[in-house]
A = this chain, B = another copy of it.
């Protein structure tokens, strides 16, 4: 088994997409032996110490996210870059699968040798989704992808996960009346390094221009952050269908990232994210002690006593904790 893992790791380091896909399946597994293999694999590939540009991308259904990823990804590939696309969607269990659906959603990109597209697994636990995505990003970096796009839907908590994973956060919006500005949660606006107003084409062009100006104004009202150069966060017009504005958006991304690298914000952000995930892992590992079947049984028994008023919640909790420590 150990030799298998080393082989798999070498395949990833050689940039083999099939090895990458197998490795992501391994890290998604819930089996304990798979978990230890996954840890060993991550340790193995981490030694290469490769970094991609991690771009978070959020946008509610209907804004044209798939088309944007398709055309933006194709443009990057045209520039000689290797592009991976991952999805974070804790709600995907509801729709019974992945937000990426089958690969027809990104028809051209999925056929490219230098692209790797991985749908979101159906897991309903955000903590699990977060760890899986974090590890999948690390594997994509080890496989020498230059850009990792981490896609999510605008549901709030998954945005926090993505913003703690990415170097730069894009928010994709559709043209709308000014009164719909409030539809975007303030927290998500504050995470965005760049807002792209899509569908700046055909009948929607003037609405898109107005929307873009509205959001540019809204962004100016948000406090300027020290990790940004002048003019950021910014709002830009794009048309994924007509392939307009994509190069300008990529240029703006490059400008921002170069500035952050030059001013040590890149490394500081990654270090802060690593510390954040360590903290999250510690908390979820502690709470995972409650998930064994005998602890669950013990909790159910105590909960019944608490509900019946025989013991206070605090005293019952203390009793359970004593039991856990005595193990």
A residues adjacent to B (C-beta < 8 A):
39, 42-43, 46, 49, 131, 134, 271-272, 274-275, 277-283, 285-287, 289-290, 299, 302-303, 306-309, 312-318, 320-321, 324-325, 327
Contacts and interface: CB of A to CB of B under 8 A. Distances in A.
Contacts of A289: 286
A320 B315 CA distance: 27
Contacts of A280: 313
11 contacts: A272-B307, A274-B303, A278-B302, A279-B303, A281-B314, A282-B317, A282-B321, A285-B318, A286-B287, A286-B324, A325-B327
Number of copies: 2
Interface of A is mostly: helix
A42 B131 CA distance: 42
A305 to B, nearest CB: 9
A287 to B, nearest CB: 6
Contact of A131 (B306, B314, B318): B314
Given A314-B39, A315-B43, A282 B299 contact: yes
A308 to B, nearest CB: 7
A129 to B, nearest CB: 15
Given A278-B303, A281-B317, A321-B282, A309 B39 contact: no
Nearest to A302: B278
A239 to B, nearest CB: 32
B271 A308 contact: yes
A278 B300 CA distance: 10
A306 B272 CA distance: 9
Given A286-B287, A286-B290, A302-B278, A271 B307 contact: yes
B282 A320 contact: yes
A289 B283 CA distance: 10
A32 to B, nearest CB: 13
Contact of A286 (B275, B321, B327): B321
A281 B279 CA distance: 20
A277 B39 contact: no
